[in-house]
Amino acid sequence: MKIAVLGTGMVGDAIGSRLVELGHEVKMGSRTADNEKAKAFVAKHNGQASAGTFADAAAFGEIIFNCTAGGASVEALTMAGESNIGGKIIVDIANPLDFSKGMPPSLIPALSNTHSLGEEIQKTFPSTKVVKTLNTMWCGLMVNPALINSGDHTNFICGHDVDAKQQVKVLLNEFGWKNENILDLGDISSARGTEAILPVWLRIWNATQNGAFNFKVIS
């Protein structure tokens, strides 16, 4: 499948690299066509991946992973262009972290509590199908859940479009996620819940000095 990965940070690299490994065609998108990290990503994958602007990548992808910084995601998708993203699935992995008020980061007030980044993207680009998932853990686990507890821990998913969630689940299965560990929380407003995990995630990371953990919902 042709997949756009927007964002050149750790998350974009992890998602993009795993997708290449799984045989997908990946184009990494960033602000400029000559982004150094994107070039390194392409070089690392010996031509099995490509890079370009947000618009180039979005036009290329049948499905789009948003791996940009949460505070810049709407701008990045605007740069990608509505004509390039319209009608497509946006897998939104970003978190609306606010680094302006000290560490650990808090959440951007306008994108939290009674709103969320996932909802803001869906509202700004109504013809897209936003699926929020994977945003509640370290990127190493996103693409390789078996790294801990044989993959038996929880990944949340939410979004308005049931078919879009099903298509994303197939990719999650390819990453190694078993269906019984993918918990569908309903429509995209549940991103208010999953994005709110970040504050406690950061506290656990700080207390344990280990980012390779995840939550499992036990009942």
Binding string, residues 138-177; x marks residues near a second copy by CB under 8 A: ----------xx--xx--x-x-------------------
**CA dist., res. 80 & res. 65, Å (int):** 12
Per CB under 8 A, 9 contacts a second copy: no
- Of how many residues is the chain composed? 219
Per CB under 8 A, 203 contacts a second copy: yes
Number of residues in contact with a second copy, rule: CB under 8 A? 42
88-107 positions binding a second copy, by CB under 8 A? 101, 106-107
Per CB under 8 A, 186 contacts a second copy: yes
CB of 112 to a second copy, least distance (A): 6
**CA dist., res. 143 & res. 53, Å (int):** 24
Per CB under 8 A, 109 contacts a second copy: yes
CB of 159 to a second copy, least distance (A): 13
Long-range contacts of 95-104 (CB under 8 A, 24+ apart): 95/70, 95/135, 95/195, 95/198, 96/70, 96/71, 96/195, 97/69, 97/70, 97/71, 97/198, 98/71, 104/199, 104/202, 104/203, 104/206
Per CB under 8 A, 82 contacts a second copy: no
Query: Is the backbone peptide bond immediately before 199 cis, with ω within 30 degrees of 0?
Result: no
CB of 92 to a second copy, least distance (A): 16
CB of 139 to a second copy, least distance (A): 16
**CA dist., res. 82 & res. 146, Å (int):** 36
Per CB under 8 A, 197 contacts a second copy: yes
